[in-house]
Amino acid sequence: MPDATLTISSRNYSSWSLRGWLLCRMADLDFEEHSVPLDEPTARAELLLLSPSVLVPRLTHGEVTVWDTLAIAEYLNEAKAQAHLWPADPVARAHARAVSGEMHSGFANLRSALPMNLKAHYPGFKVWAGAQGDIDRVIAIWRDCLATYRGPYLFGALSAADAMYAPVCTRFLTYDVRLDLDCTDYCARIMEWPAMAEWVRAAQEEPEEIEELDMEF
């Protein structure tokens, strides 16, 4: 029986649940999932209000409980050091943590204007001007990382940084955001990642749809 539990919410809507789940998969952690059901009125209301009583993702591993996504990344990096969630080189590792931290705390306009919705597709979507600056910044980060570390992922091999930016790839596809060839290829590579493909398949099977979910959780 797994000695770890990851609490998540909707696979279709919850970008933070996706990040935490990918990190656990990357760490090769033996874990079971506990999902907060959206058809439960109390949970639905809490999610819509972003109540702090619903903390997703939340990892419980033995006696340890961690609920912040970057904290989960750091915990797994220590508990599963062989997974190399961060680059081995200290300069690259600092860079990866910096861009992951930027994703963790920034891009508010992108989050609100282009919420994650894996089931949807909006060809020709008109991006609000306030969100374009965030999109441009993400593209700049990707271009810099892919050029500096020569791909195929942001820091060469898969790292926690790719898990942090994976939901953005889904947003760009959902809302038909125009990208250059390198960034388009990077998004395709993330979507082909077996763990990512598994998550998307499960999201497509979710029955719940919440039209009023226009924020990230």
The whole-number pLDDT of residue 51 equals: 40
How many other CB atoms are there within 10 angstroms of residue 79's CB atom?
A: 16
Q: Phi and psi (nearest 5°) for 115?
A: -65, 150
Same fold, 4-84 and 90-199: no
Q: Give the tens place of pLDDT for each residue, 125-183.
A: 999 888 999 999 999 999 999 999 999 999 999 999 999 999 999 999 999 999 999 99
What gap in Å lies between CA 21 and CA 136, rounded to an integer? 27
Tell me, what's the pLDDT at 62? 93
Q: What is the domain partition of the chain in residue ranges? A: 4-84, 90-199
* The model's pTM: 0.90
Domain 90-199 has CATH 1.20.1050.10: yes
CB-CB contact of 9 with 19 (8 Å): no
The residue written with tokens 């959902």 in the block is 174
Count of CB atoms situated within 10 Å of the CB of 101 = 13
Which amino acid type is present at position 200?
A: V
C-alpha closest to that of 67 among 48, 52, 78, 77: 52
Looking at domain 4-84, which CATH architecture does it have?
3-Layer(aba) Sandwich (3.40)
Question: How do the pLDDT tens digits run along the chain, 217 residues long?
Answer: 788 999 998 899 989 999 999 999 999 999 999 888 665 555 555 454 444 445 689 999 999 999 899 999 999 999 999 999 999 999 999 999 999 999 999 999 999 899 999 999 999 999 988 899 999 999 999 999 999 999 999 999 999 999 999 999 999 999 999 999 999 999 999 999 999 999 999 999 987 665 544 444 4
